[in-house]
Amino acid sequence: MDNGEIPENANEHCPGPQSESAGKSDDCQGCPNQEVCATAPKGPDPDLVAIAERMATVKHKILILSGKGGVGKSTFSAQLSFALAAKDFQVGLMDIDICGPSIPKMLGLEGQDIHQSNLGWSPVYVESNLGVMSIGFMLPNPDEAVIWRGPRKNGLIKQFLKDVYWGELDFLVVDAPPGTSDEHISIVQFLQATGIDGAIIVTTPQQVSLIDVRKEVNFCKKVGVPVLGVVENMSGLCQPLRDFRFLKMAENGEHTDLTEKVIEYMREKAPEMLDLIAASEVFDSSGGGAAKMCTEMGVPFLGKVPLDPQLCKAAEEGKSCFAEQKCSTSAPALKNIVEKLMTNYWREEMPVEQ
């Protein structure tokens, strides 16, 4: 337990050996280190000083949170990082979703390794101004499950913060796992002294997701992290009509693909239809969606991002949805959200108009 490190054999919700409740908390019951922790001298965690020194060169720190998994949080983290880097900011993306690290895939960095220099661990770079750190780079096999208790997860997050050499950063985007677990408490605790700009919370429109987002908002309020805003992702399926398949269903469930015939018919009879965007509600938003929830909870609503198959494809390929013109429905929505964030919170970083 040198330097206040949480031992690997500690209980899942270990308060830490430097905590005043170490060895005395209900979470300490049955831990093999309970007596040592209860009698050990307490004091400030020296690693927090090292973290503060590392973070001194980072201007803005943003947490990306979600109440549930599968709402597109990591996709949003990746595309936000791409968008900020495209504005010529120096950007770091830190993936602390220890058990489900998606960021290497979404940034096109699968199979990359972490390198160490005399300055510390070096991030893996997508471009010269966009660096990434994830446990995904440390796994010998991408299919290997990470079966860690809370203390070991917290130790890795601390290591990412104190040992990774980011250099001068304008933005550090932190992609957190879903929920409000140990990882969230740790990242807030470790960064609080250095200042966190706030959290962006990602949700889908239906109530089953918004129920957990409300808990996420309350978590932020309890730990003193400002909510920069909520993004409603997968807000209806939107794509050009010409990209749809048209099927004729038989009573037995089999179908016949009529796409070529339908497209040809439209091309001959109504060519203007091929330029239309077709939209359909995928999730039930009759309860008002994220916008209503934000009004009720007094937090900003940043906007809606439609479910766009081209955005899904960009994430699978590890590409920016802004680089090409294929993400015709999602890219403008994401761009508007980024511009709103810049205007509301980081206006000083925007170039002065001549």
Of 11-20, 84-93, 144-153, the one with minimum mean pLDDT is 11-20
Residue 4 has pLDDT above 60, yes or no: no
pLDDT reported for residue 128: 95
CB 319 within 8 A of CB 86: no
The pLDDT of 86-107, averaged and rounded, is 95
Q: Rounded to an integer, what distance in angstroms lies between the CA atom of residue 311 and that of residue 66?
A: 19
H or E element: which one contains 267?
Answer: helix 259-269
Token pair, residue 107, equals 């940034």
Residue 244: count other Cβ atoms within 10 Å of its Cβ: 14
Q: How confident is the prediction for the chain on average, in pLDDT?
A: 90
Q: Rounded to an integer, what distance in angstroms lies between the CA atom of residue 30 and that of residue 27?
A: 8
Q: Report the percent of the chain where pLDDT is more than 90.
A: 68
Residue 181 has pLDDT above 90, yes or no: no
Residues in the annotated binding site: 14, 28, 31, 37, 67-74
**What is the DSSP secondary-structure string of 270-294?**
-GGGGGPEEEE--S--TT-HHHHHH
Residue 308 has pLDDT above 70, yes or no: yes
Residues in the annotated binding site for ATP: 67-74
**What is the DSSP secondary-structure string of 99-168?**
SS--HHHHTT-TT---EEETTEEEPEEEETTEEEEEGGGT-SSTT------HHHHHHHHHHHHHHB---S
The number of CA neighbours under 13 Å toward the Cβ of 194 is 24
Residues in the annotated binding site for [4Fe-4S] cluster: 14, 28, 31, 37
pLDDT reported for residue 139: 86
The pLDDT of 85-94, averaged and rounded, is 97
